[in-house]
């Protein structure tokens, strides 16, 4: 049985992770964390999601779980995640990271941590999205340079990074398959007299509004036809289920930096 702690337990994703962990047979939720000063400190994680008390207390620090050797699942904020990752390294426990928007230096910190502990870091923990990554690679290699490729994504109004980590990952799949440099090929906005679209561009369009959980489409626009590869998430449980699955998997792995594709064996 794998012990799991949810960082940021009171958030929308945190609550979905609590439910997913409770319903996973080979995992046990031992608690969660919230911000210092929260009125939820001392509450039980089960009660946060409308279930019976499960003896999984909410604290304001991971230090409360120092003696339990848990796997930490973190979908919080960039700074909080880096701090939590440091705690995991110091306590030699695995970490599952679903936070996005890290700088290149922060991603180096994640890679460095993975030399000491197992780290599963993925832009998206949905099984369906990771299948899409595999399908996309095949489609790009077939189309080659015969189509213009655009990545369109939509999320709820509360999402703070743009484009989404998943959209960027999709773009990197495209760039890799076509042997293009992602940094020079990616275009994140168009306005005014932009001229004829160069074939080598990988365009990104972002929509923010309402309670959209997450929609991603890769559009192949060729002369005479269009092909779209799309994934739409209807609720956060799809991400939570994948994250908990990753936590159970990570508990059995040596130190290293892993992705959801490793977890799924793709």
The set of catalytic residues is: 155, 159
Count of residues in the chain: 266
Q: How far apart are CA 189 and CA 172, in angstroms?
A: 17
Question: In this structure, what token pair is assigned to residue 106?
Answer: 């922060």
Q: How far apart are CA 125 and CA 120, in angstroms?
A: 10
Q: In Å, how far from its chain's centre is CA 72? A: 14
Q: How far apart are CA 91 and CA 195, in angstroms?
A: 54
How many other C-beta atoms can be found within 10 angstroms of the C-beta atom of residue 221?
14
How many other C-beta atoms can be found within 10 angstroms of the C-beta atom of residue 106?
16
100: closest CA among 189, 36, 168?
168
Instruction: Dump the DSSP string for 74-130.
Output: E-S-HHHHHHHHHHHHHHT--EEE------HHHHHHHHHHTTTSEEEE-S---HHHH
Q: How far apart are CA 59 and CA 216, in angstroms?
A: 35
Q: How far apart are CA 239 and CA 102, in angstroms?
A: 19
Residue 51 · residue 75 · CB < 8 Å? no
Residue 31 · residue 58 · CB < 8 Å? yes
Q: How far apart are CA 17 and CA 58, in angstroms?
A: 14
């Amino acid at each position: 049985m794998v012990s799991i702690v949810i960082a940021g337990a009171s958030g929308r994703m945190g609550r979905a992770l609590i439910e997913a962990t409770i319903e996973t047979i080979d995992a046990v939720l031992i608690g969660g964390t919230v911000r210092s000063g929260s009125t939820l400190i001392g509450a039980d994680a089960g009660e946060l999601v409308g279930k019976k008390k499960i003896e999984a207390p909410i604290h304001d620090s991971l230090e409360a779980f120092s003696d339990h050797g848990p796997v930490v699942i973190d979908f919080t904020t960039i700074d909080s995640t880096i701090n939590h990752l440091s705690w995991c390294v110091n306590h030699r426990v695995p970490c599952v990271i679903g936070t996005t928007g890290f700088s290149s230096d922060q991603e180096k910190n994640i890679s460095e941590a993975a030399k000491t502990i197992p780290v599963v870091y993925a832009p998206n923990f949905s099984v369906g999205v990771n299948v899409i990554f595999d399908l996309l690679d095949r489609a790009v290699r077939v189309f080659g340079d015969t189509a213009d490729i655009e990545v369109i994504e939509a999320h709820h109004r509360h999402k703070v990074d743009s484009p989404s980590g998943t959209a960027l990952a999709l773009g990197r799949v495209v760039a890799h398959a076509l042997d293009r440099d992602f940094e020079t090929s990616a275009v994140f906005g168009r306005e005014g007299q932009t001229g004829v679209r160069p074939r080598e561009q990988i365009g990104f369009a972002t929509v923010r509004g309402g309670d959209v959980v997450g929609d991603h489409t890769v559009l192949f626009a060729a002369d005479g036809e269009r092909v779209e590869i799309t994934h739409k998430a209807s609720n956060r449980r799809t991400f939570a289920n994948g994250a908990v699955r990753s936590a159970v998997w990570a508990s059995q792995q040596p130190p290293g930096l892993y992705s959801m594709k490793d977890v799924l064996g793709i």
